[in-house]
Amino acid sequence: MTATLVICGPPTSNGDLHVGHVAGPYVGADVHVRYLRAVGREAVFASCTDDSQTYVVTAAARLGTTPPELVAESSALIPETFAAMGIELDGFSPTDDGYRSTVYDYVTRLYDKGKFKLRKVRLPYGERSQQFLVEGFIGGDCPTCLADSRGGFCEGCGHPIDFDGLIEPYSILDRGEEISYREAEILVFPMEEYRERLIAFYEAKSSNWRPHALALMKEVLAKPLPDYPITYPVSWGLPSPFPETPGQTLNAWVEGMPASIYCTAWAQRNTGAGSPENDTAWRAENAARPVVFMGFDPLYVWGLVHVAELMAHEGRYALTDTLLVNEFYELESEKFSTSKGHVVWARDLVAEVPRDIVRFYMCLSAPEHARTNFSRATLTKVAGERLIGPWNELAATLAKLTAEVGDSQPLPVSPQTPSRIAAMIARFTPCYELETFSLSRAADLIVQYTDRLRQHAERVRTQNLDRETLSARLGEVFLQLRALISCSAPILIDLAARAGTEVRLTPGDFEVSTTEAFPVPVLDLSMPSTDSR
Ligand SMILES: [Zn+2]
Compute the distance from residue 156 Cα to the ligand 1 centre, in Å: 5
For residue 188, pLDDT beyond 50: yes
Residue 508 DSSP SS3: helix
Compute the distance from residue 163 Cα to the ligand 1 centre, in Å: 14
Identify the pLDDT of residue 264. Answer: 96
Compute the distance from residue 150 Cα to the ligand 1 centre, in Å: 10
Identify the pLDDT of residue 507. Answer: 86
Compute the distance from residue 518 Cα to the ligand 1 centre, in Å: 55
Per DSSP, the residues of 65-128 read S-HHHHHHHHHHHHHHHHHHTT---SEEE-SSHHHHHHHHHHHHHHHHTT--EEEEEEEEEETT
Compute the distance from residue 142 Cα to the ligand 1 centre, in Å: 5
Mean pLDDT for the chain?
Answer: 95
Compute the distance from residue 166 Cα to the ligand 1 centre, in Å: 10
CA atoms within 13 A on the CB side of 501: 30
For residue 531, pLDDT beyond 70: no
Residue 150 DSSP SS3: strand
Compute the distance from residue 355 Cα to the ligand 1 centre, in Å: 35
Compute the distance from residue 314 Cα to the ligand 1 centre, in Å: 32
Compute the distance from residue 164 Cα to the ligand 1 centre, in Å: 14
Compute the distance from residue 43 Cα to the ligand 1 centre, in Å: 35
Identify the pLDDT of residue 478. Answer: 96
Rounded CA separation 189/160 (Å)? 14
Identify the pLDDT of residue 68. Answer: 98
For residue 426, pLDDT beyond 90: yes
Rounded CA separation 147/469 (Å)? 66
Amino acid sitting at position 267: A
Identify the pLDDT of residue 532. Answer: 45
For residue 105, pLDDT beyond 90: yes
What residues flank ion ligand 1 with Cβ within 5 A?
A: 142, 144-145, 154, 156-157
Pairing of strands 329-331, 372-374: parallel
Each residue of 191-200: pLDDT tens digit? 999 999 999 9
Identify the pLDDT of residue 504. Answer: 80
